[in-house]
Amino acid sequence: MIYGLSIIDILVILIYFAITIAIGMWSMKRIQNKEDYFLGGRKFGKFIQTFASFGQATSATSPVGVVTTTFRNGAAGIWSSLLLLFATPLFWITSPWLRRLRIMTMADFYEERYGSKSMAAVYALIGTIGMMALVSVGFTAMTKTVVAMTPKAVEQLTVEEFSEYSLGQELNELEKMDYQYLSDIDKERLAELRELQPQQIFSHIDENALVWIVCFIVLIYAIAGGLEAAFYTDMLQGNFIILLSVLLLPFGFYKISDMYGGEGISDAFTIMHDRLPQAFFEVFGSPTVIDFTWYYIFAIALVAGITVVTQPNQLVTNGAARDENSARYGYVIGTFTKRTLTLLWGLLGLASILLYGNSVQNSDLVWGMATRDLLGGLDLGLVGLMIASMMAALMSTADALLLTCSGLLVNNIYRPLFQDKSEQHFVKAGRIFGALFLIGGALITTQFDNILQILKLMWEFFVIFAAAFWLGLKWRRANKKSAWASIGFTFVIFYFIPILLPTLFPSMRTSEYLVKQTHPDPVTRTYTAHVMDVEERNQRILDWEKYAALGKEIGQKPAPLIENEEFEKEYILPPKSIFWSKDVKKSEAGVLTGFGYLYLELILLDKMGFQMDENPYALNETIRILIRLIFPFLILIAVALFTESDDSKRLENFYLKMRTRVKGDPGEDKQALEESRVHLNGRKETLVFPNSNWEIYKWSTSDLVGFLVAVGVVVLILFLFFFMVSFGA
């Protein structure tokens, strides 16, 4: 065993990476110009596009994160990865638009639509920073996954590691107790440990070294082979992720049946319902994830549906397609594939509660424990393949983002400064910028406490450009001045000033007013006692008797619980910061301190008398998200109505292009564009309101049918979600 892995596992990892590097070297020979490098020559059909979309959407955070949140919170934890399900049908309509733009990067849209190279450069710079944060999500999740698969045994921990591990064990024990049975001392201790957040996993592998190893491998194949190499490796990696996601489930179900006297997979579902607490099967309103309310889910889905389309990687993924149908089929099917697998990952999380609930205290270990336990005994190198696939999930996201951002930097910042250079020169420049991007993403990985913080940042970050994109695409009155106003005010008010103020005035972080937190009321629910409820109550009675015998000050003795008896359970949720993006914590000096940047909009509302500390955290977050979404649109509309329109000739050329469907053959597509320019009515027959300033297209039969089918798939996935958690009850 080396680093906790068998020789065959290590060989599988090495062979896997050798194949990805070989693909990069093969693709490198096929690159002739910028379009080949950054967009793969725009030649990919539905099949490749599907896996490219799936690979881009599925990072290492996806399967591990869903299993972790489900293991900790029950079925409602699946929402952590299923929030964007409702936005997916929109992609059936927007994917052809992105392909119809016929541009190299998303920044080109702002140059072409508003006639501003500087606006394109600003988008390229800010978009690259945003994508660095996104790729750091993958680095964070990947390291946690591999660390969980290669943990040190307790006896191998250093003195310092064991001390922190012991604090983690103490936190786990207190978290398992009903809050109503804790003494005042234990309640204070629980609050203290929650703020300390002690680490509980210590690995044989150094996390920082692992980040740089994976970074180096991605650099080799993606920088060498461009988008073609990225898409082909995405296809390989996507198949393995799907295979291993499905492979774990039957082994897990058969083990549950064997452990508890069942006879197959269907009995495993019945056993889970008989033994797991009833609260673990609540889809909406679970007290363990009370912040995922229906209105918060709606707000996140709305923001994501509007901002995701404006992200630079969306243009690359759709723009690389051969034609519009390849773009839309590939993107929507790839995205729905991830949504479906999310349910399977959640199901594995529920099964893992029975399998490892007593042996795994930290939920981050669950995926690694399941892999080792269910696949390791086969001695086929599947543990190594799982590690390689988890790292590949990161790589499939990182390579696409690398090519996206190197294209932005080269095409919209570097090329305008050095216009007389050759195509091969710009390809070389793209490789250098790609390397700098990936290294930057690795460096900022440590700047966030958890994956959800980064994801929330990405859901919101591109509201900076949302209004300029959507209204520029659909409203002829949107002009350069209004777009600049929307972008500038949104960035300054929501990001620049909130980051600058605490930097200039550090005392703001410890201000008694600014470190205010929510005060969630205890949540009491009535359930029917299942086997695990009874076992848990019996253990609490033993704990109470043990503490009482030691003379400790404790609360009332828990009453015995009988299976199928109704009982009440009280949940207490930790307070959360109102005004700081990364919550508040106690510093080493014991002072409550705010981290991250400020939410000025919530401070303003609080000063206006709305008393934000009395609201549920989910309501504050919903209000804040909707303000950030609406504000840039209001600014753009207001400025546009009081300023002159942009050059009409440029606008006409832009909108003529957007009304012309993309042909699969480049020659035919060029001819179609020429025909549009001489078309007497400017193809206005495609518009719903041809004599207005609105560019709203009539839907074709394929538009309508495809959208309705996508909505039907959303309903089907929700049905499967409910069926999955109720089957066997």
Look at residue 290 in the predicted model and tell me its pLDDT: 66
Categorize the per-residue pLDDT at 145 as very low, low, confident or very high, splitting at 50, 70 and 90.
Answer: low
The rounded mean pLDDT for the chain is 81
Categorize the per-residue pLDDT at 435 as very low, low, confident or very high, splitting at 50, 70 and 90.
Answer: confident
| SS3 of residue 256 by DSSP | helix
**Dist. CA 423–CA 35, nearest whole Å:** 9
What is the H or E stretch that residue 524 is in?
Answer: strand 523-528
**Dist. CA 337–CA 345, nearest whole Å:** 12
**Dist. CA 61–CA 241, nearest whole Å:** 12
| SS3 of residue 294 by DSSP | helix
List the alpha helices (DSSP H) in 260-381. 265-275, 294-307, 312-319, 324-356, 366-375
Segment 492-502 shows an average pLDDT of 93
What is the H or E stretch that residue 505 is in?
Answer: none
| SS3 of residue 4 by DSSP | coil
Categorize the per-residue pLDDT at 53 as very low, low, confident or very high, splitting at 50, 70 and 90.
Answer: confident
Parse the chain into domains and list their residue ranges.
Answer: 1-151+206-461
Return the percentage of the chain with pLDDT > 90, whole number.
21
In the predicted structure, residue 559 carries a pLDDT above the cut 70:
yes
**Dist. CA 107–CA 116, nearest whole Å:** 10
Query: Residue 346 corresponds to which tokens in the numbers above?
Result: 């959640």
Of residues 269 and 393, which shows the higher confidence score? 269
**Dist. CA 192–CA 175, nearest whole Å:** 12
Rg (CA), the chain: 27
**Dist. CA 626–CA 499, nearest whole Å:** 20
Of residues 260 and 478, which shows the higher confidence score? 478
Look at residue 429 in the predicted model and tell me its pLDDT: 81
Look at residue 624 in the predicted model and tell me its pLDDT: 93
What is the secondary structure of 138-179 as a DSSP string?
HHHHHHHHHHHHSBPPGGG--HHHHHHHHHHHHHHHHHHS-G
Look at residue 490 in the predicted model and tell me its pLDDT: 95
Decide: 497 and 600 in contact? Cβ < 8 Å.
yes
| SS3 of residue 571 by DSSP | strand
What is the secondary structure of 666-728 as a DSSP string?
HHHHHHHHHHHHH-TTTTGGGBSSTTSSB-PBPP-HHHHHHHHHHHHHHHHHHHHHHHHHHTT
Categorize the per-residue pLDDT at 148 as very low, low, confident or very high, splitting at 50, 70 and 90.
Answer: low
Segment 621-639 shows an average pLDDT of 95
Segment 430-458 shows an average pLDDT of 66
Residue 555 backbone dihedrals phi, psi, to 5 degrees:
-80, -160
Give the number of other Cβ atoms within 10 Å of residue 382's Cβ.
23
Look at residue 502 in the predicted model and tell me its pLDDT: 93
* Most confident segment among 13-17, 83-87, 91-95, 124-128: 91-95
**Dist. CA 135–CA 314, nearest whole Å:** 14
For 414-418, 562-566, 713-717, which range has the lowest pLDDT when averaged over its residues?
A: 414-418
Token pair 């996601």 in the structure block, residue:
245
In the predicted structure, residue 231 carries a pLDDT above the cut 70:
no
For 116-130, 555-569, 642-656, which range has the lowest pLDDT when averaged over its residues?
A: 555-569
Q: What are the b/e assignments for 440-452, b being 16+ CB within 10 Å?
A: bbbeebeebeebe
- Bridge partners, residue 570, by sequence: 524
Provide the total of helices (H) and of strands (E) in the chain, helices listed first: 29, 4
Look at residue 505 in the predicted model and tell me its pLDDT: 94
**Dist. CA 194–CA 172, nearest whole Å:** 10
Look at residue 67 in the predicted model and tell me its pLDDT: 82
Statement: 1-151+206-461 belongs to CATH 1.10.530.10: no
The whole model's pTM is what? 0.80
Look at residue 172 in the predicted model and tell me its pLDDT: 72
Residue type, 65: G
Of residues 192 and 112, which shows the higher confidence score? 112
Query: Residue 448 corresponds to which tokens in the numbers above?
Result: 């966030």
Look at residue 261 in the predicted model and tell me its pLDDT: 82
Decide: 364 and 84 in contact? Cβ < 8 Å.
no
Decide: 265 and 55 in contact? Cβ < 8 Å.
no
Categorize the per-residue pLDDT at 25 as very low, low, confident or very high, splitting at 50, 70 and 90.
Answer: low
